[in-house]
Structure 1
């Protein structure tokens, strides 16, 4: 029994490690985010009391995937700043305040965009994506730490290929001219992304 368990565990580990950040077992081509399985969270320190967490409800990304040489792939992602969601209970719309002039100023800058410039493979399932982030009307180079979750070919529900990634990026919001309450509310904003990509139809 012990031998069988060890053999089964080894088989699972081999299957899990078969696709890595070096190569991915899905066809090459254009992949887009599945909106039902993609989330973008933002986090800021709130007066030192807690980490305040919100999200954006509308995000899309396009991945031009080279599965044999992932470092040659490219990524473009956009977020709608009006889709901010804070789950705030009070006598005002905190969502509108965050998307308004004091912070994101979505009426004047209706899109945040990240365009990759290079991808560096750092481990079996990790990498760094360097790209230009355009936010609040300004563009600066940022680095996203990316984890390759897994690939399914085919996905058991859709019978199509699918790949999953997690990403994390910390930016200085004051660099983009968003300096309202900087200090009490941290200037550093951490973005966390979980995304499933499927072939573009």
Structure 2
């Protein structure tokens, strides 16, 4: 049975197409990771937060411009250290009114409903790292709204390689966790707006 000419042409060009397809710089390959100190790339590091609103829908906002450091050694991954700072004052949402509400002062000198106009940066500092394959459990202390509480991150190594623009060796880490905002003194509108806040963290660390 003869194949149609179009299929024969496609079969002939397939190897050329495969050769010309660019490779994504970051690969989930731990052998690419080099021991040393890394700094977060603020332009490509984000923390998304999610709360339930009135039991109807989940609402999502973002913290950007994340900074921080990562110290790691592939030969001893459990000795890794993470120290990340989150500029709460740069919180953003899809609603200008809600963003303003998060950052506005309290009425008549009262405590702000949420963060207030000049909130201190939040900070997470790891205390232990338990690595299993490409995943890790990171225990640490989160300071938010002037209160420090222990938090556990379920983390994952997402890729390593050289950034094609600045040529820096980069390691990507993603993580999730859940905190209770009331633990950090943010209790406005409970329980209409959920106490549970889901956090999704994506940080690109560049080698110093």
TM-score, normalising length from structure 2? 0.79
- Separation in 1, partners of 2:37, 2:173: 15
- Separation in 1, partners of 2:157, 2:46: 15
Query: Residue by residue, what CA displacement relative to the aligned partner does 1:10-58 show, whole Å, maximum 9, x if unpaired?
Result: xxxxxx6641xxxx53322211111221111110011111110000123
Correspondence for 2:85: 78
Correspondence for 2:46: 39
What SS is found at the alignment partner of 1:85? coil
44, 51, 55: which is aligned to 2:58? 51
Matched, 1:151 2:160: yes
- Separation in 2, partners of 1:61, 1:169: 18
- Separation in 2, partners of 1:178, 1:192: 19
The answer as to whether partners of 2:28 and 2:160 remain within 8 angstroms in 1 is no
Query: Residue by residue, what CA displacement relative to the aligned partner does 1:145-188 show, whole Å, maximum 9, x if unpaired?
Result: 10100111x33333331111111111011111111011110000
115, 122, 144: which is aligned to 1:135? 144
94, 99, 122: which is aligned to 2:98? 94
What SS is found at the alignment partner of 2:34? coil
Gaps of 5+ in 2: 1-10, 19-26, 105-111
- Separation in 1, partners of 2:66, 2:164: 25
The answer as to whether partners of 1:105 and 1:136 remain within 8 angstroms in 2 is no
167, 173, 176: which is aligned to 2:184? 176
Look at both structures and tell me which one has the larger radius of gyration over its CA atoms. 2
TM-score, normalising length from structure 1? 0.81
CA change 1:184–1:114 in 2 (3 A) is same
Runs of 4+ in 1 over 6 A off after TM superposition: none
What SS is found at the alignment partner of 1:117? strand
Gaps of 5+ in 1: 9-15
The answer as to whether partners of 2:136 and 2:155 remain within 8 angstroms in 1 is yes
Correspondence for 1:187: 195
CA RMSD for the aligned pairs?
A: 2.3
Length, aligned pairs only: 180
